[in-house]
Chain A
């Protein structure tokens, strides 16, 4: 079932823009977030007649693709800058991490991008299992498996982390040099 003429684009925009913007802000720098959110709705406008009636997971799915494309472009640009200028690759900043305790911060940093994505869709973006599965393009059962694995790993990592083993100034880098899918998080 698609959005159809009875779903007014401007009303959906007003209702969903804040959620989409926050979704993007959790994963991209603050400078780019509004541009990327605008791109999501530009795509939605172009495809409005074919947008599913259940529009929220669809918009988040589009936002996820827009973010992935932006990361590819930024990655290429950064690699070029590094080659040209010999600059050091910037570390993740600590925007938005103040609410994380040190042990959660360290455990989160040790999770894979796949695990973080599953957890964030539910804990931060507030999606149901069915909606998150739609965003990720998998079945609800598959998402359930992915989420329970991620939750189990986070729990185990939290129990492994000694609070004194890390300081509050732990740099916000992933455990490898791969950019996280969730920028603004370690």
Chain B
């Protein structure tokens, strides 16, 4: 048990009431466990089934063809919308965006967390550097103090390089370097296969793993227009994604919302607010099982920049953990 979490009389009292305290197995349980182990290891290891996802891809391809036909016929506006159509429209919109270039990939976002006042976050990333200016420490401190004012002394530009000079990659699962990102296939089937093959199995289901990886890449990576098309197409192949409708994001922009609800597995429900016209992901919302908002991230600005600010000394002195107050 972790000391910090258990450093509370209510938690300690609950721990004392553990209905099945963890202890060594009884002799009978040990014998049965040994038998279970032999039975399991006597079986051949089964490969992860992929047939279901491939069927979804077939459907995804059919939907893409239908979308293209509808657009050509000028009938899209009268076609009943679905999450799949919205995602494929976003894919088409992303693909025709201009290819940009620059020294740093820059993203500015606003974060809403129930334990803090809203705060902004800026990142500048190049192939070998990662700079972060986050107001999170100031925002958490303000929330604790019950004020909305952010102390500028708690906001620093931080060099997020690791001690060995490496930097965190892109994506939530597979950490992709800049070069790896550029070498990813844009074909959705190949892209899905490659990401799935490299993702560690979380135990929450392959669709959940893939969803998080793709959303992470859409949110903050410098994926090319072609790759963004592939990423939206991959999302359109994930089963159970639903259209929410037209909404306004936290920055006041009109957006189309889709959702992926994993609450039947006791996982969160996710909403993506996007602009299908240009394939930009505007806002991500994560809801708890009781439908309360766990987290909201709104992309306010992103694109290439030729310069980045100089890193400042860490908030808590040399060697301190980034993004944490002292």
Contacts and interface: CB of A to CB of B under 8 A. Distances in A.
Contact of B1 (A41, A62, A122): A122
Interface in B152-175: none
Interface residues of B, number: 53
Interface in B248-298: 262, 265-268, 286, 288-290, 294-295
B209 to A, nearest CB: 10
A134 B20 CA distance: 22
Contacts of B37: 10, 13-14, 17, 41
B20 to A, nearest CB: 4
Nearest to A121: B5
Contacts of B15: 123-124
A14 B41 CA distance: 13
Given A50-B200, A65-B203, A134-B202, A45 B41 contact: yes
Interface stretch (A18-26, A75-83, A161-169): A18-26
Contacts of B25: 17-18, 21
A120 to B, nearest CB: 8
A138 B294 contact: yes
A10 B29 CA distance: 16
A122 B141 CA distance: 26
A151 B15 CA distance: 12
B113 A141 contact: yes
Interface stretch (B43-51, B53-61, B307-315): B43-51
Interface in B8-42: 8, 10-11, 13-25, 29, 32-33, 36-37, 39-41
A145 B114 contact: yes
A26 B200 contact: no
B294 A137 contact: no
A141 B37 CA distance: 36
A145 B202 contact: no
Given A99-B19, A184-B20, A34 B288 contact: no
Given A21-B29, A22-B20, A122-B6, A142 B268 contact: yes
A126 B11 CA distance: 11
B201 A137 contact: no
Contact of A22 (B5, B17, B21, B33): B21
Interface in A92-138: 95-97, 99-101, 104, 112, 114, 117, 119, 122-129, 134, 136-138
A104 B13 CA distance: 9
B203 A61 contact: yes
A65 B265 CA distance: 7
B203 A41 contact: no
Contact of B288 (A65, A97, A119, A142): A142
Contact of A142 (B41, B262, B294): B294
Given A137-B202, A147-B5, A123 B286 contact: no
Contacts, number: 169
Interface residues of A, number: 70
B2 A58 contact: no
A1 B24 CA distance: 29
Nearest to A138: B268
A123 B202 contact: no
A123 B201 contact: no
A68 interface: yes
B60 to A, nearest CB: 24
Nearest to A24: B20
Contacts of B1: 122-123, 126
B251 to A, nearest CB: 22
A34 B29 contact: yes
B22 A151 contact: no
A42 interface: yes
B10 A137 contact: no
Nearest to A37: B36
Interface string A62-78: 10110010000000000
B208 interface: yes
Contacts of A170: none
19 contacts: A13-B40, A18-B24, A19-B22, A22-B22, A34-B36, A38-B36, A41-B40, A50-B201, A99-B17, A101-B17, A114-B288, A123-B11, A124-B14, A137-B202, A137-B208, A138-B267, A138-B294, A145-B113, A158-B10
